[in-house]
Structure 1
Amino acid sequence: MKIKAAVLPATQQPFLLTEINLDTELRADEVLVKIVATGLCHTDLSIRDEQIPFEIPAILGHEGAGIVERIGSSVTKVKEGDHVVLVPASCGKCSYCKSGHPSYCSNFFLLNLGGTRGDGSCPYHDHEGKNVAGFFFGQSSFATYSLASENNLVKVPTDVPLEILGPLGCSLQTGSGTVLNVLRPQAGEGIVVSGVGPVGLAAIMAAKAAGCTTIIAVDVHENRLTLAKELGATHTINSRNTVISDEIVNNIYPGGVHYGIDTTGRNDVINQMVGSLRYMGKAAIVAIAPTPKLEIDYAVFMTGKSLQYVLEGDSVPDIFIPQLIELYKRGLFPFDKLIKFYNLEDINQAVEDSENGTTLKAVLRMPH
């Protein structure tokens, strides 16, 4: 079938809206999804900027939401007409998947960054019949239709607008899951979030829902800090002209906060975050780093502090995403306040607005 897709034709290039031929002869476990809308995530741009290896030309996109169009012969998880959110692919069979950690699936890189099916076949082709890499994070949702497996689909209720739900599949579950599934703060504790883009703001909303009473947002954009305050931050710091750790330890939370999350990947910011922790404080990094090495000053890393990298919020999406939707319905996770809609053909404007900070979470509507 012919589909419309925003294709990355080469690294460091804008996306190109074009017609793609998609082979829709489904494998037994595959599902054809009509994409309604999909989020634009920094990880998509990391492919463009060669920070993550992936075959080019490619259809990217990994925060899709849509309606099940057809299912393979062995699929039982969803049926035609179901509303679904697409999430990163996982095998469902390895020890990490079976123990509730699909984000660390043994086959994660093959399934999400291989560009083809596991057997090497590619169902996406350009008008000349040449392969176009797909299955980005198991979905390649910068397109009107996506071919996925039932493992990376989450059925969602129909009483919430489907077009807003795609970002729950990656950025929003990353920020909120890191708080609720990994750090697990207790009511009354304190947390600092460095970088309050979509991931950081999701962490702030989750920290508020968990009962944290000191929630510190750190960024260089005043508009983001203002929104962070609206969504639950009790304190904000513009790190452009303030030493984060000194301000927190001396003026906001004497002795340091219990937890920290970094969404920037910057060594200097991470050092300041770790320096803001109390003894035995815990910190998590969720960013794709702009540099190949992480360097921590030994002095700020003493006194029992710990630091770990977290993928996709270490969540089980089938459980966690419905929980986030329920929090949203109760007014406790108002993530729709982050979203600005664009049409698929305006993807390059969405990229520009996201990179200059005028848009927090761009969501692309499909031209159905």
Structure 2
Amino acid sequence: MPRAEAHIRNKLRVHHSFKALCHASADKLENAVGSIYADDARLFAFHPVNECSGAAEIADALWHPLRSALPDLQRRDSILIAGESDGRDLVAVMGHFQGTFTGPLFDIPPTHGVVHVRYGEVHRLVNGRISATWMIADMLDLMRQAGCYPIAPALGAEGRWPGPATQDGILPDTVDPDGGAESLQLVRKMHAGLLRFDGKRLESMDHEQYWTPDFLWYGPSGIGTTRGLRGFRAHHQIPFLRAFPDRRVEHHFGRVGDGNYAVTGGWPSVVATHLGPGFLAMPPTGKPVGMRVMDFYRVEGGLIAENWVPIDMIDLLRQMGVDVFERMRHLQGRPRMSLD
């Protein structure tokens, strides 16, 4: 039980510390960040935050802008799990920031109304403090909410992600490593099926057997939500595989399971070459890309019932030659006025 107790402590530490960050005053924000992060901690975040280290940099790059833009910020976790991955203690969290959007955030214009910014996070803890965080917040969806969405409409359904249908994603005072191992094993079998793609036939990927018939796949803004295998193929898998037929998995930072939940992620998780049309309505660019991706899974009756998928779409588009923030500024009446 000592390991289980450590995972429970880590869950509680992350859950309560990040809620406290949302309420810390501006002059105490760096201290609040330093109370949870190790002195040499690293943050690997969504574009345009990207990478930084140490409490001061993490506070300046992420938390000060977030708190300034949403002064009444609340954090609403939907999934919170903990476990061990390759000898490292991890806590994975998925949810939404909620608040009144009163000031610009990374140049996204405020709405002066309530917005919901979804996030996926994985934290590595050592001796009760975070040594590394991987975080994806959906800035493209915030642009959508602010009325300045700058790319082609999603093929799936856009909107706020719901939490787990079973409403049991937050159990901060328990862990279930045995159930988590079974959930993670199921997910890895499904991944193995996806990786059997022969570059030509959908049927070459033997993964349908691992999903419930009406599973929900919650994609990021730009892709959207799909239901069942037919919807998943039509709205995401076919456009994606046509665009990236050589995609492969690399650089996982962790795989963790806890009860009926499992989380995997990489930085980048998927590497590929943009070789075909269809994805995000873009013609092929021939450019190599690396995709920052996380997957949060809920298992029910031995099958995957729900899958939430944070992807850093703005960073992906940047690698494909599209500056999403520049397009957003242009649509807001702030076009580039030089050739530089």
TM-score, normalised on structure 2? 0.28
